[in-house]
């Protein structure tokens, strides 16, 4: 009875291969790649929107109608993540959007972007968001490629 009770809680653990020792038994939980992809991709969408807001607040971008182009991009990215999961087009859209997300830290780290931020009040949060966006974008790319390759394997 305790094992069934414990197993119910194990389903909520992080989505990676986990070795656990429960009630004298070693157990392996398989990685749920699609859940991991949804989480990393949605985090990337969140960090892109926070980053764009930071760009506007810190003066990198002028707040205006030209910034509204990000709305359909984030909407398509979110749609691919939530609705097209496990489909070829979903993986492709997530890869393309994640490459755009990965471009943000590359542009800021190699350009003049971070020099202006260093003296501002929100410097830590801006740099942290930039780095975290890069990490979540890379993870989304890798998980999407893995999903595409997995689809092509014969059963």
| pLDDT, tens only, 106-155 | 888 887 566 666 666 777 888 888 899 999 999 999 999 998 888 776 65
Mean pLDDT of the chain: 79
* 33-58 helix and 123-152 helix, angle to the nearest 10 degrees: 150
Same domain, 20 and 65: no
Same domain, 18 and 72: no
pLDDT at 16 over 50: no
Name beta bridge partners: 25: 22
Same domain, 41 and 25: no
Name beta bridge partners: 22: 25
Same domain, 70 and 11: no
Same domain, 39 and 93: yes
pLDDT at 8 over 60: no
Contacts of 66 (CB under 8 A, 6+ apart): none
The C-alpha atoms of residue 121 and residue 19 are separated, in whole angstroms, by 43
Residues 130 and 108 sit within 8 Å (Cβ to Cβ):
yes
The C-alpha atoms of residue 116 and residue 138 are separated, in whole angstroms, by 26
Phi and psi dihedrals of 61, rounded to 5? -125, 145
Same domain, 125 and 63: yes
Same domain, 23 and 37: no
Same domain, 72 and 15: no
Same domain, 37 and 26: no
Same domain, 71 and 113: yes
pLDDT of residue 15: 44
Same domain, 19 and 49: no
Residues 77 and 94 sit within 8 Å (Cβ to Cβ):
yes
Instruction: Count up the domains in the chain and report the number.
Output: 2
Run of H or E residues at 28: strand 25-29
Same domain, 43 and 4: no
Quickly tell me which residue has 């790319």 as its tokens. 141
Containing domain of residue 1, as a range?
A: 1-31
């Amino acid at each position: 009875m305790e094992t069934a009770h414990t197993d119910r809680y194990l389903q909520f653990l992080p989505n990676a291969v986990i070795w656990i020792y429960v009630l004298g038994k070693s157990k392996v939980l398989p990685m749920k790649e699609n859940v991991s992809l949804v989480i990393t991709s949605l985090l990337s969408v969140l960090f892109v929107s926070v980053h764009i807001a930071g760009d506007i607040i810190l003066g990198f971008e002028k707040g205006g109608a030209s910034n509204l182009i990000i709305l359909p991009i984030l909407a398509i990215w979110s749609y691919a993540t939530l609705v097209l999961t496990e489909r070829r087009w979903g993986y492709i859209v997530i890869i393309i959007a994640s490459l755009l997300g990965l471009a943000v830290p590359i542009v800021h780290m190699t350009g003049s972007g971070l020099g202006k931020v260093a003296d501002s009040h929100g410097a830590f949060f801006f740099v942290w968001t930039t780095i975290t966006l890069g990490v979540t974008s890379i993870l989304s790319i890798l998980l999407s490629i893995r999903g595409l390759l997995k689809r092509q394997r014969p059963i």
